[in-house]
Amino acid sequence: MARERLIDIARTVYRSYGFAPIDTPALEYAEVLLGKGGEESDKQVFRFTDQGERDVALRFDLTVPLARFAAQYIQELGTPFRRYHIGPVWRGERPARGRFREFLQCDFDTIGTLSNTADIETLFVINDLLEKIGIERFTIRVNNRRVLNGLLEKCGLQEHAVTILRSLDKLDKIGRDAVLQEMQEKGGIPAAGASQVLDMAQLKGRPDEILLALDGMLQGSQTGQLGLENLRELFACVGQCGWPADRVLLDVSIARGLDYYTGTIYETILGDLPGIGSVCSGGRYDNLAELFTSQQLPGVGASLGLDRMLAALEELGGTAKATTPAPVLVTMLDAAGIPAYLQMGRNLRRAGIGTEVYPEAKNIGRQMKYADKRGFRFCLIAGADEFAAGTWQIRDLQQGAQVSVAAAEVPGYLVQALTPAATSGT
């Protein structure tokens, strides 16, 4: 239920921005998937030959299927094309805490526009997602690949960009010294250059201060200035939002491991659980579908790390304990009253109240135990006496109180009783 709640929030937020749902098959032709995510990813692909001798594989992300889908249908769909996709992906790797061979991805992307407006809205979507999930303290770290490339250009290190950015991406995990060492040993970067890159990447301060410092460093770099301009626009809009000062920060050290990002990049860190890593990441890419079509399809998007977010919520105590989606249990004392029990269930559902009817006239103690275990909010009780009197006992399982209410008034009573906590049971 906690997982479904997150999916529901993601869908609601995505839809509120005009992203439409798509789904693609779990199985793609192997040639569609292989060679798209690098050697490591190819090794992890679940691949086999099916009954029709087709070489097929289970998708390892939702981006490659989107690229295939967009290449195939973009003429028909038109641009900008905004889609979200929530579905399982598979990777044959060693499972660990919060890492599974099958896991859910929860992506949204705006395809077919180079406009920075889409980048800014991507940030808004991430913010709304976290707010709606109920996270109070979080920071979206933003950077721009063009700024990084501009800085490397100024250091004369642009040819080593891929190596440097991959190392830089590990800064949080392995620390400055290890990154320096890796850049020198694996990347063959001179010590002075590596150190200079890290100094720039570790610029600290308010976004406007960092933007100013970067402007100085990036004089004469066209690429770098383009990236800076996008960041300036983004922070100008953030300034209008009235968010806490640490809601969106400019962090020049963020590189994201993936090679295909070319512009804005995003990471989202929980204020109360930074160690769990980014719970929502993404970025802008110049050409999504170049392997499938000659049409250029730029885009920007991000992905909610649903399983990681769930793990975080569990650790922070933010998941509900009830295992029933219905707040009311109609207990059964007397099998002769089955039509009445069922009818009460129907009346309550018609009043919008989720209601389970206990299916057997078992010992009431056992039914109450069941109600506790599932986490129902109210129990309805009626036996021969109540049927004769036309009343029902309503037991409030949170308060422990019990009242007698006329049959016809039960739905109204419960609607009112559940109103302050209307969302808790649904």
Q: How far is the CB of 339 from a copy of itself (least distance, A)?
A: 5
- Longest CA–CA span in the chain (Å) reads 91
Residue (170 or 349) nearer to a copy of itself, CB: 349
What b/e readout covers 177-207, taking b as 16+ CB neighbours within 10 angstroms?
eebbebbbeebebeeebbebbbebbebeeeb
Q: How far is the CB of 158 from a copy of itself (least distance, A)?
A: 29
Residue (185 or 314) nearer to a copy of itself, CB: 314
Residue (240 or 419) nearer to a copy of itself, CB: 240
Instruction: Residue 175: count other Cβ atoms within 10 Å of its Cβ.
Output: 11
Residue (192 or 408) nearer to a copy of itself, CB: 408
Q: How far is the CB of 18 from a copy of itself (least distance, A)?
A: 3
Q: How far is the CB of 80 from a copy of itself (least distance, A)?
A: 6
Q: How far apart are CA 41 and CA 33, in angstroms?
A: 9
Q: How far apart are CA 258 and CA 24, in angstroms?
A: 22
Residue (44 or 393) nearer to a copy of itself, CB: 44
Q: How far is the CB of 17 from a copy of itself (least distance, A)?
A: 6
**Size (the chain), residues:** 426
Q: How far is the CB of 76 from a copy of itself (least distance, A)?
A: 10
On whether the CB atoms of residues 329 and 378 are closer than 8 A, the answer is yes
What is the 3-state composition of the chain as percent helix, strand, coil, each rounded to the nearest 5?
Answer: 45, 20, 35
Task: Give CA 276 to chain center in angstroms.
Answer: 14
Residue (66 or 151) nearer to a copy of itself, CB: 66
- Kindly state the tokens that stand for 45: 């692909």
